[in-house]
């Protein structure tokens, strides 16, 4: 988790922040064992933070902020093992743990 404090470091792309998580998950789920991925979409309301210029409409028609997409891996007994992917939907596109550059938001299924 210490890597996350380097979030604004341009020399460290977002996918690299998740590499320790991916490596740990690969060790925690042995070959032949079952694991599950739980996906969640959460509105993050920043309506009162006017310094943020990349907000989108979230929640009700008056909320401004971001949509956070999270994917959590759990083992076959339901115990959480760790995050495998995160995305934040902003007015400039999606910031993703899977991509070094923002990409256009299509819909929640894409």
Domain with 55 in it? 2-96
Q: What is the pTM of this model?
A: 0.79
- Domain contains 10: yes
Could you tell me if 71 and 84 are in contact, meaning their C-beta atoms sit under 8 angstroms apart? yes
User: How would you class 1 by CB atoms within 10 Å of its CB: exposed for 0-12, middle for 13-18, buried for 19 or more?
Assistant: exposed
In-domain check, residue 18:
yes
Residue 30 domain flag: yes
CB atoms within 10 A of CB 42: 11
Who wins on pLDDT, 55 or 1? 55
Torsion (CA) 74, 29, 13, 108 in degrees, nearest 10: -40
Does residue 90 sit within a domain? yes
Q: Is the pLDDT of residue 8 over 90?
A: no
Q: What is the pLDDT of residues 18-31, one digit of tens each?
A: 888 889 999 999 88
- Domain-embedded: residue 103: no
Predicted pLDDT of residue 40: 93
Tell whether 102 is covered by a domain: no
Q: Give the chain's domain count.
A: 1
């Amino acid at each position: 988790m210490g890597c996350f404090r380097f979030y604004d470091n341009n020399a460290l792309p977002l996918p690299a922040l998740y590499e320790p998580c991916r490596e740990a998950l690969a060790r925690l789920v042995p070959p032949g064992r079952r694991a599950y991925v739980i996906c969640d979409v959460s509105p993050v309301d920043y309506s009162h933070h006017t310094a943020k210029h990349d907000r989108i409409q979230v929640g009700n028609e008056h909320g401004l902020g971001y949509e956070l997409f999270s994917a959590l891996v759990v083992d076959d007994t339901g115990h959480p093992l760790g995050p495998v992917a995160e995305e934040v939907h902003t007015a400039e596109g999606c910031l993703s743990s899977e991509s070094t550059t923002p990409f256009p938001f299509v819909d929640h299924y894409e």
